[in-house]
A = this chain, B = another copy of it.
Amino acid sequence: MITIVAKQTVKQGKIDSFIAIAKKLVEKTHQSDVGCISYDLFQDSQNSGVLSFIEEWENQEALDKHMASRHFRELFPQLDEFLEKPGEINLYQKVE
């Protein structure tokens, strides 16, 4: 299993716009991406500009298909203009 935390810092005033697109990406991913265990958007309770996708994928193949999917290729780049700085993306393995 692969766990991803994709942490984004969004410009104040652009948070709603970011969330609107991000929610479409979450919905499409839930609908169509095989091997997706979980894929959700989270907002920091103390800093509303910090928004992170926290994702769980069965394997690299499922993740690769997601990143090649039409909805990801179309929607994820649209988030860039709302960002204050480049996102921090970590691909994790659970320590057993």
Binding site for B on A (CB under 8 A): 2-3, 5, 7, 19, 22-23, 40-47, 50-52, 54, 90-95
Nearest CB of chain B from residue A1's CB, rounded to whole Å: 10
B2, B19, B40, B44: the one contacting A90 at CB < 8 Å is: B44
Q: List 30 A-B contacts (CB under 8 A).
A: A2-B45, A3-B42, A3-B54, A5-B7, A5-B52, A5-B54, A7-B90, A19-B95, A22-B95, A23-B95, A40-B94, A41-B94, A41-B95, A42-B92, A42-B94, A42-B95, A43-B92, A43-B93, A43-B95, A44-B90, A44-B91, A44-B92, A45-B93, A46-B91, A47-B90, A51-B95, A52-B90, A52-B92, A54-B54, A54-B92
